[in-house]
Amino acid sequence: MSEAMHTTPAPDGGPAGPPVLPTPAETTKLGIWLWLASDCALFASLIATYLTLHGQTAGGPTAQQLFDLPLTLVSTFALLLSSVTMGVALEALQKDDIAALRRWLVVTALLGAIFVGLEIREFHHYTVSGLWFQRSDFASSFYVLVGFHGLHVSFGIAWILSLLIFTFRKPGGITRADHWRFEMMSLYWYFVDVVWVVIFTVIYLLGKVG
Applying CB under 8 A, the residues found at the interface with another protein are 1-3, 23, 25-26, 28-30, 33-34, 36-38, 40-41, 43-45, 47-55, 69, 72-73, 76-77, 80, 83-84, 87-88, 90-91, 94, 176-177, 179-180, 183, 187, 190-191, 193-194, 197-198, 201-202, 204-206, 208-210
CB of 14 to another protein, least distance (A): 27
Residue 19: strand, helix, or coil: strand
Among residues 38 and 134, whose Cβ is nearest to another protein? 38
Among residues 102 and 179, whose Cβ is nearest to another protein? 179
Which residues lie across from 20 on neighbouring strands? Answer: 6
Cα 47 to the center of its chain, rounded Å: 16
CB of 173 to another protein, least distance (A): 17
| Amino acid type, 204 | Y
| Amino acid type, 55 | G
CB of 136 to another protein, least distance (A): 14
Among residues 49 and 140, whose Cβ is nearest to another protein? 49
Task: Say if CB 114 and CB 78 are below 8 A apart.
Answer: yes
The rounded distance, in Å, linking the Cα atoms of 15 and 13 is 7
The rounded distance, in Å, linking the Cα atoms of 203 and 119 is 14
